[in-house]
């Protein structure tokens, strides 16, 4: 993969910047106008933030938050299967900024975990199994899997928040998440017709399959679009190119926490952990679904 120099101006946006360490108690003590329901909604997205942070750090450096900022993990278990990726210089340069955050769940970032997603997306095993750590192009395709899910989650969260402070935080996070997703999609779109070795399948087809899989798992209709779509789904119903995904009014799609859990667990059921979260996601909302299983 040989991205053009023009894309380098966007590179810094690839890394997720988690908010500084905080807890439910701190939010409630510093602003007693923030209801518990808002705190729960604010905590939930951090599951995805940790997934992205650890994936990008391990891919670039071969280590994660345990080394970069161990105090932010609050004793959460070290991710399994994550490792350094064989990145080209451009992709590596895009993954250099310090990541901050708080309590993390158990994460499975193994090549096998990503291979299962790819196999599900195509409806059959890929040979050899998809490995996000094998090249810069593979890593970017794997990066496509997560930020957009977080984006739709933030869009779905905003209307449910009661406090102005909560809405301000989530809107700020939404802006960063949207930028990350746009950068990843733009980088991949430049190579939409490139065939991903060794499969002979184009980048565009990979993204279309990944998006279709997320729609199937979410059980909530069309809320995800790949890089090349029928004109009816493109901008103003006239474009096949689809760097930015949106509905008929060019408005971002939204997802509920339940839809997100169905996707990241990999089985379409918010009550059954799996996928990147073998022991389930953390926070009151995610754990409540496990308790009812």
- Above 60 in pLDDT, residue 12? no
> Among residues of the chain, what percentage have pLDDT more than 90?
44
| Torsion-angle region of 67 (φ positive above 0: left; ψ -120 to 50: alpha; else: beta) | alpha
pLDDT of 291 = 66
- Above 70 in pLDDT, residue 19? no
**Which residues have a Cβ under 8 Å from the Cβ of 189 and sit 6 or more positions away?**
227, 241, 243
Per-residue pLDDT, averaged over 156-160, amounts to 92
Per-residue pLDDT, averaged over 97-116, amounts to 74
Per-residue pLDDT, averaged over 61-65, amounts to 83
Say if residues 281 and 40 touch (Cβ distance below 8 Å): no
- Above 70 in pLDDT, residue 50? yes
- Above 90 in pLDDT, residue 43? no
- The Cα–Cα gap between 187 and 139 comes to 12
User: How far is C-alpha 125 from the geometric centre of its chain's CA atoms?
Assistant: 23
- Above 60 in pLDDT, residue 200? yes
Three-state DSSP at 27 gives helix
If one compares 72 and 70, the residue with the highest pLDDT of the two is: 70
- The Cα–Cα gap between 109 and 112 comes to 8
* Distance set, CA 223 to CA 155, 165, 233 (Å): 12, 28, 11
- The Cα–Cα gap between 43 and 286 comes to 10
What's the pTM? 0.80
232-259 pLDDT, tens digit per residue, is: 887 767 778 888 888 888 889 999 999 9
3-state DSSP helix/strand/coil % of the chain, to nearest 5: 50, 5, 45
- Above 90 in pLDDT, residue 138? yes
Per-residue pLDDT, averaged over 64-74, amounts to 75
- Above 70 in pLDDT, residue 196? yes
Burial of 292: CB neighbours in 10 Å, binned 0-12, 13-18, 19+: exposed
Three-state DSSP at 97 gives coil
For the chain, the structural domain boundaries read 47-89+104-290
pLDDT of 278 = 95
> Among residues of the chain, what percentage have pLDDT more than 70?
80
Say if residues 44 and 286 touch (Cβ distance below 8 Å): yes
Average of per-residue pLDDT values in the chain? 80
171-191 pLDDT, tens digit per residue, is: 888 888 898 899 899 999 999
- The first and second tokens of residue 165, run together, are 């402070």
Per-residue pLDDT, averaged over 86-110, amounts to 58
Say if residues 78 and 194 touch (Cβ distance below 8 Å): no
**Which residues have a Cβ under 8 Å from the Cβ of 46 and sit 6 or more positions away?**
18, 101, 102, 103, 282, 283
């Amino acid at each position: 993969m040989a991205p053009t120099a023009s894309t380098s101006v966007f590179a810094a946006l690839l890394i997720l910047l988690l908010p500084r360490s905080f807890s439910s108690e701190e939010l409630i003590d510093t602003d007693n106008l923030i209801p518990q329901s808002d705190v729960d909604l604010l905590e939930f997205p951090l599951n995805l933030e940790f997934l992205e942070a650890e994936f990008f750090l391990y891919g670039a450096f071969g280590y994660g938050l345990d080394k970069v900022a161990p105090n932010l993990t609050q004793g959460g278990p070290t991710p399994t299967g994550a490792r350094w990726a064989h990145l080209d210089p451009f992709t590596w340069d895009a993954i250099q900024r310090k990541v901050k955050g708080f309590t993390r769940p158990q994460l499975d970032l193994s090549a096998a975990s990503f291979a299962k997603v790819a196999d599900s997306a195509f409806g059959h095993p890929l040979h050899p199994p998809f490995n996000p750590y094998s090249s810069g192009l593979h890593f970017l395709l794997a990066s496509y899997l997560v930020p957009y899910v977080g984006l739709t989650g933030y869009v779905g969260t905003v209307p449910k928040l009661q406090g102005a402070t909560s809405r301000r935080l989530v809107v700020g996070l939404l802006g960063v998440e949207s930028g990350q997703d746009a950068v990843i999609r733009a980088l991949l779109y430049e190579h939409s017709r490139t065939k991903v070795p060794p499969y002979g399948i184009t980048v565009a087809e990979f993204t279309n399959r990944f998006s279709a899989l997320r729609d199937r798992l979410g059980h909530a209709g069309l809320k995800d679009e790949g890089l090349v779509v029928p004109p009816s789904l493109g901008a103003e119903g006239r474009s096949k190119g689809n760097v930015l995904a949106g509905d008929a009014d060019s408005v971002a799609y939204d997802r509920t926490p339940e839809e997100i859990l169905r996707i990241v667990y990999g089985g379409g059921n918010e009550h059954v952990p799996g996928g990147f979260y073998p022991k389930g996601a953390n926070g009151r909302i995610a754990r409540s679904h496990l308790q009812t299983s």
